[in-house]
Structure formats: C-alpha cells, structure tokens
C-alpha cells in the first residue's frame, strides 16, 4: 500500500493546498494530512481547529486521514508506515529550503522519499500568510479558500478584533 504524508501548518488550508491534496490522492492509496505547529509562525487557528477544518473540506475524498503530530516528521512517517512525504513547491524560492529538508530527512531515514508537487499555476503565489493578512484587513479571500474556511476565518478575525 502506498501511503504518503502531506505535512504542514495549514493555517488556514488554501485552495493551493487542496490542489496538492487532490493530486496526491490520485498517486497514493492513503494520504495522511499531518497538521503540525511551527514555532516561527503565529497561528490564527489552533491545531484542533485546523484538523477539523481540513476534515471538513476533504470529506469527499475516500483515501484521506487528517491528524496532528509533533516531533520529527520522519519519525511520524515511520510510525505511520508511510513511504513518502509530499511537499508543495510554488516557486524557485521554495525549492532550496525544501531540497535541504528532503536531504536531511533522507539522512535520518533513507526509507522515506520526498515527492515534490507543484500546484496549478493559478495558486503559485498563494500561501496561508497572504490569506490571513488579506482577511485581517477586510479583503475578500473567497477566491483563495473554500467557503467553509472563509466563514471560519471571518469568525476568527471578528473574535480577535473583539479581544477574544
């Protein structure tokens, strides 16, 4: 069975992420979306909220699991019995960092392969930070995220503005 992990913070999940997920579901038998934290980022949503959000927008796929994890990605992949890690590449600027991480992961566990997927070109500029910034300033994010995610972003932005 071909099992892959697509790790990330997904804060929030975007149409670009979903494009990668959809492609991964055609290449692998099981796709685990591994939601994690990044200490250098200031998340809008909790890990639990992100997991629930992703489950909602991917429920139409029959070969996806969504869960959170902590620690080293390769350790997580080994625990799950995954043979590969999916990483999305939007631009050349992503490649250098992702290439370095893939090499480090290979040194730690040579049984785990990193597969790079490019999103559709209409999503190459898109990332979660842009979506959050746009929403914070009242911009329309409907073209960048699924409707359910847009609604959650609006609720969260309003709640933060009210001090909650």
Q: How many helices (H) and strands (E) does the chain have?
A: 6, 5
Q: Which one of 17, 50, 87, 156 is the catalytic residue?
A: 17
* 153, 144 Cβ separation under 8 angstroms: no
Q: Which one of 23, 55, 65, 90 is the catalytic residue?
A: 90
Known active-site residue 3: no
Known active-site residue 60: no
Q: Which one of 2, 41, 59, 159 is the catalytic residue?
A: 41
Known active-site residue 23: no
* 131, 144 Cβ separation under 8 angstroms: yes
| 164 burial via Cβ count (<10 Å: 0-12, 13-18, 19+) | exposed
* Residues carrying an active site annotation: 17, 41, 90, 128
């Amino acid at each position: 069975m071909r099992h892959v992990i697509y790790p990330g913070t997904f804060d929030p999940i975007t149409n670009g992420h979903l494009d990668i997920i959809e492609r991964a579901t055609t290449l692998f038998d099981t796709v685990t979306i591994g939601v994690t934290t990044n200490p250098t980022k200031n998340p809008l949503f909790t890990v639990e909220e992100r997991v629930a959000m992703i489950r909602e927008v991917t429920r139409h796929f029959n070969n996806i699991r969504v869960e959170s994890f902590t620690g080293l990605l390769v350790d997580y992949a080994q625990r799950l019995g995954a043979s590969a890690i999916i990483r999305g590449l939007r631009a050349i600027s992503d490649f250098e960092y992702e290439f370095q991480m893939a090499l480090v992961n290979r040194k730690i566990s040579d049984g785990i392969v990193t597969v790079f997927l490019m999103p559709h070109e209409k999503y190459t500029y898109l990332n979660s930070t842009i979506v959050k910034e746009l929403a914070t300033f009242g911009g329309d994010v409907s073209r960048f995220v699924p409707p359910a995610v847009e609604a959650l972003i609006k609720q969260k932005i309003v709640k933060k503005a009210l001090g909650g």
